[in-house]
Amino acid sequence: MYRFAHNNLNVLDLNRSLKFYKEALNLTEVSRLDLGDFILVYLGDETGSRHQLELTWIKGRQEPYNLGDNEFHLAFTTDDIEAAHAKHQEMDCICYENKAMGLYFINDPDGYWLEIMPEQE
């Protein structure tokens, strides 16, 4: 048996990313490992899910990460898509909307796409 543990994103500015993920998605720090040349921070959601987002910050890195065609994304569900959309619109981080499917994407500070979609009943 396998179970999702975490997904990793490399970030250029750890504090900026932590602030963004808290404000945009209410993800909070669960644990942190300082491994000398880099820091790993694990974020969890308010549901208590075991699945976490691991942010890796490499000390001293100055150049942004090359995300290629940026086809990779993480998806988040919400029980109030209208309130979430209004919040993300206020943050000016919506980068793509698919109204026909009832979902949209936001950009994090490093340019990663995060899909926001309603809870499926």
pLDDT of residue 2: 76
Q: With 70 as the cut, is the pLDDT of residue 79 above it? A: yes
The amino acid present at 70, given as its one-letter code, is: N
- Measured CA angle at 23 (ends 120, 18), to 5 deg: 110
Per-residue model confidence (pLDDT) at position 55 = 97
Q: Tens of pLDDT along 33-70?
A: 999 999 999 999 999 899 999 999 999 999 999 988 87
CATH T-level assignment (fold) for domain 6-60+71-118: 2,3-Dihydroxybiphenyl 1,2-Dioxygenase; domain 1 (3.10.180)
Is a pLDDT exceeding 90 seen at residue 94?
yes
DSSP H helix total and E strand total for the chain: 2, 8
Q: Looking at residue 121, what is its pLDDT?
A: 61
* Measured distance CA(65)–CA(42) in Å, rounded: 20
pLDDT at 68: 85
Name the phi and psi angles at 8, rounded to 5: -115, 140
Average pLDDT over residues 15-32: 97
